[in-house]
Structure 1
Amino acid sequence: MIIDTTEVRAINSFSRLESLKEVYGLIRLLVPIFIPIFGITIGILIIVWLERKLSAGVQQRIGPEYAGPFGILQALADGTKLLVKEDLLPSRGDIRLFSIGPSIAVISILLSYSVIPFSYRLVLADLSIGVFLWISISSIAPFGLLMSGYGSNNKYSFLGGLRAAAQSISYEIPLTPCVLSISLLSNSSSTVDIVEAQSKYGFWGWNLWRQPIGFTVFLISSLAECERLPFDLPEAEEELVAGYQTEYSGIKFGLFYVASYLNLLVSSLFVTVLYLGGWNLPIPFILIPDFFGINELGGIFETTIGIFITLAKAYLFLFISITTRWTLPRMRMDQLLNLGWKFLLPISLGNLLLTTSSQLLSL
C-alpha cells in the first residue's frame, strides 16, 4: 500500500487550520465577556479607594496612603486578604443556602451591566426591554440575601435577610413607575434609544429637566436599593451585628462586599443613562467637531470620549451617596417602609400619570 505524503500533509494542514479556527472562535467568544468583567473589577477597586478618601476628607482624616501611591492599592490588598482567609461554615446552618446566597447576589447584579451603554457603540446587548431587564434581574438579589440569612442559622442574620427583602420590595415598586415614565418620554425601553432621545439639545435635552420628580424618587430609591446610609437597615452594625453577613468570612464575605459596590456602580450608571444624557456632552453633539476643530467624530476617539463622559456623570451619584453616608442618620425600619409605601409610591404613580397625560395630549 502506497501512502501519498502530499495528501497526508494536506490533511494535517487542514486539521491544524480547523483547530486554529476553533481557538479563534473561542477567543472571540470569551474576550467580550472578560473585558467588561475586568473593567468592572477595576472600577470597583477605584470606587472603594474613592469612598475611603472622600470619607476621610469629610471626617478630616487622611485615609489610606501606604499601600501603593496615595493608598490606591489598599482595596486590592484587602481583596487579596479576603481570598486567603479561612472560609468558615456554620455547624448547624444550611450549607447549601449559605454557600449559594453570595453567588446569587453577585451574579444577578453583574447581569445588569449587559444593557448599560458606555458609548454609542459600546453595549453588550441593546435589548428593546433593557431597563425592565435591569429591574427584573435586580429583584433577584434579595433572594440571595434572604437565603444567606436563613442558611446562617443566626437570628440576627435571618432578621437582616428579612429586612433586605422587605426593603427591596418597598423601593423597587416606586422605582418602576419612574422607569416607565422615561420609557414613555423616549418611546422605547432600550437604554441606547433613551440616551439618543436626550442628545438633541445637549444639556437642556436631558430627562433631568423633563422628569425632576421622577429623578428625585429614582435617586432615593436607588440609594435604598444599594442599602446605603441612611437605608442600611439590613446590615446595621449597632442592631444586627452586620445582619446577613454576620456568619460569613473569607471569599464569601468578599462576594457580599463586591455585590454592594457592584450595585452602587450599576445604579449610578442607570441614573446617568436615564436622566443625565448618558454619553452625551452638555453642549449639543453636533457642535463638538467645530469646537475642537475636528472634521468628523467617530471610531475610537468618539468611544473614548463617551466612556469618559459616562463615568464622569456616574461619579456625581457616587459622590452624593458617599457624602450622604456621613451626613444623614440611619432611619428606623418603620420609617423606611413608610417612606417607600406612603410617600414615594404615590408620588411616582402621580408622576407616571402626569407623564402619560402629557404624552396623550401631544399626540
Structure 2
Amino acid sequence: MNLSPFLTFFLLTVVKIVIVLVITLTSVAYTVLLERKVAGRMQNRWGPSRVGPFGLLQPLADGIKLFLKEDLMPLAIQKPLFVIAPIIALSCALVSIAVVPFGPLTEVHVHGQPGFDLFDISNINIGLLVILGITSIGVYGIALSGWSSNNKFALLGSLRATSQMISYELALGLSLVGIVLRAGSLNLRTIVASQSAHGALSWNILGGFQIVAFVVYLISAFAEANRTPFDLPEAESELVAGYHTEYSSMKFAMFFMAEYANMITISCVATLLFFGGASSPWGNALPNIGGAIGAAIFPVLWFVLKVFCFLFLFIWVRWTIPRFRYDQLMAFGWKVLMPIAIVNILVTALVMSVRS
C-alpha cells in the first residue's frame, strides 16, 4: 500500500512521539529509584533492594500501588480545578521534551523528501523560547491545586511556588541571553552546532566563558523544579506536604512525576546550552567507530551520560544542603542572581563587540 508523503511523515512522527514519551516516563520512574538508592548510600543503608534483582522492579511496584490506592476527594474542594491541576503540571513537564534534540542531526528521506529528523520530535527556530514558555506555564497547575484544595497548607505552598517561579524565572531567562548572543539563534540545534567545533573547548561553559551564566542557571533551575534547598512550596516541616497535601492516588503521582520530568528537562537544557548537547568532549579527534550506526548512536550515549550527571547532582544536593528560609530564598533571587545575570549579559555583549 502506497501512502502519501504527508501520511507517512505523520505516522512516523506519531511513532517517534510514542517512543520518546515511553522513554521519558521510564526515565522518570528510574530517576526516583536512583534517588532512593543514592540517598540510601549517603545514609549508610541499602535503599530499595527487595523487588526484583537489586530492587530494579521497585518503580513498577510503586506505580501499581499508587494506581490501586483509593482516590480521596475532600468535600469542600473546587472539583474541576482540583482534577485538572495535576494534569496541567504533568502535561507541561512532558510537552517541553518535544523540542529537545537528543542526538545528531540525522535526516531520513520520506518518498525522496528529506526533513524527517530521527533524534528530535520538532526542530523549530524558537525551541529555547518554547521550553521556557511551557515550563513556566506548569506553575499554574501548582497554583490551582493549592487554591482548589481549600486547605491553608496547600494554599501557602502554591503561593510560595508562584512567587518563587516569578523570582527565579527572570534570573534563569537572563542567564541564557549570553548563550543566545553567542549562537545568534534560539534554535537548539544551532546552539549545539556552535559548540561542536573543538570538543569541550568549544562548549559554552569553557570556550564561551559562560560559567557564571551556568551557575545562575543551575541555581535558578533548582528553584524552578522546587528541589532542595529551594523546596519551600512543599516543606514538610512547615506545610505538611504543601500544594499536594490533599492529593492521593494517581493525582499525587502526577505531581510527583511532573517534578522528576522537570528535572530531566532542566538537565537536557543544561546539556544542550552549556555542554555541547550530544557532541563528544573530544570533538572530531576520535575515529569514527561503527560507521554510520556508530555516528548516530555514540552522540546519543554522550547526551544521556551528561543528563545523568545532572540528575545525580540534583540528588546529591538534596541530601547535602539544608533548606533555605523563605525570606532568604526571595532575597537571593532578586538581589543576587538577577544582578549577576544582567552583568553577565553586558560583559558577554561587550566582549563580542570588541572581538568583532
Amino acid paired to 2:174: P
Q: 2-side partners of 1:219 and 1:169: how far apart?
A: 16
Aligned to 1:9: none
Q: Does the 8 Å CA contact 1:183/1:194 hold for their aligned counterparts?
A: yes
User: Superposition pairs for residues 272-311 of structure 1, below 5 Å?
Assistant: 272-285=271-284, 287-289=285-287, 292=289, 297-298=291-292, 300-311=293-304
| Distance in structure 1 (CA, Å) of the matches to 2:335 and 2:36 | 35
- Could you list the per-position Cα deviations for residues 1-28 of structure 1 after superposition, in whole angstroms to 9, with x for gaps in the alignment? xxxxxxxxxxxxxxxx699999978743
Match of 1:88 among 66, 69, 72: 72
Query: 1:134–1:20: structure 2 CA closer, same or farther, 3 Å change rule?
Result: closer
Q: Distance in 2 between matches of 1:61 and 1:319?
A: 18
Q: 1:269 aligned to 2:253?
A: no
The alignment status of 1:154 with 2:176, answered yes or no, reads: no
1:165 to 162, 166, 170: 162
Q: Which structure shows the higher helix fraction?
A: 1
Q: 1:243 to 1:18 in 2, by over 3 A?
A: same
Query: What is the alpha-carbon distance in structure 1 between the residues aligned to residue 245 and residue 49 of structure 2?
Result: 29
Paired residue secondary structure (2:323)? coil
1:260 counterpart residue number:
259
Q: Which secondary structure does the structure 2 equivalent of 1:175 belong to?
A: helix
* 2:322 is the alignment partner of 1:329: yes
SS at match of 2:304: helix
Structure 2 counterpart of 1:192, from 182, 189, 194: 189
CA contact (8 A) 1:131 1:179 kept: no
Superposed CA RMSD: 1.9
> Any runs of at least 4 consecutive aligned residues in structure 1 with deviations exceeding 6 A, and if so which?
18-26
TM-score (normalizing by structure 2): 0.92
Contact 2:78 2:149 in 1 (8 A): yes
> Which residue is 1:13 aligned to?
none
In the alignment, the residues of structure 2 paired with residue 149 and residue 134 of structure 1 have an alpha-carbon distance, to the nearest angstrom, of 24
1:122-161 alignment, distance < 5 Å: 122-161=119-158
How big is the shift at 1:268? 0.7
Which of 353, 360, 363 aligns to 2:346? It is 353
| Distance (Å, rounded) in 2 between the aligned partners of 1:361 and 1:23 | 51
How much has 1:304 moved relative to structure 2? 1.6
Deviates more, 1:170-179 or 1:26-35: 26-35
Query: How many angstroms does 1:266 deviate by?
Result: 0.6
Alignment partner, residue 227 of structure 1? 226
- The one-letter amino acid of 1:106's match is L
Question: Greater CA radius of gyration, 1 or 2?
Answer: 1
Q: 1:87 to 1:24 in 2, by over 3 A?
A: farther
**1:227, 1:234 within 8 Å by CA — same for their partners in 2?**
yes
Note if 1:218 corresponds to 2:202.
no
Answer whether contact 1:183 1:189 (CA < 8 A) is retained.
Answer: yes
* Counterpart secondary structure, 1:288: coil
Give unpaired runs (5+ residues) of structure 1: 1-16
Give the residue type in structure 2 aligned to 1:244.
Y
CA contact (8 A) 2:66 2:249 kept: yes
Q: Could you tell me whether the CA contact under 8 Å between 2:96 and 2:134 is conserved in 1?
A: yes
Q: Distance in 1 between matches of 2:69 and 2:241?
A: 19
Deviation at 1:244, TM superposition (A): 0.6
Amino acid at match of 1:130: G
Rounded Cα–Cα distance in structure 1 between residues aligned with 2:10 and 2:71: 33
Residue by residue over 1:275-328, the C-alpha shift from the partner in whole angstroms, topping out at 9 and shown as x without a partner, is: 01111111022x2226x5x6xx43x32222111111101111111111111111
Please report the TM-score for the alignment, with normalisation by the length of structure 1.
Answer: 0.90
Give the alignment of 1:10-29 within 5 angstroms.
Answer: 27-29=11-13
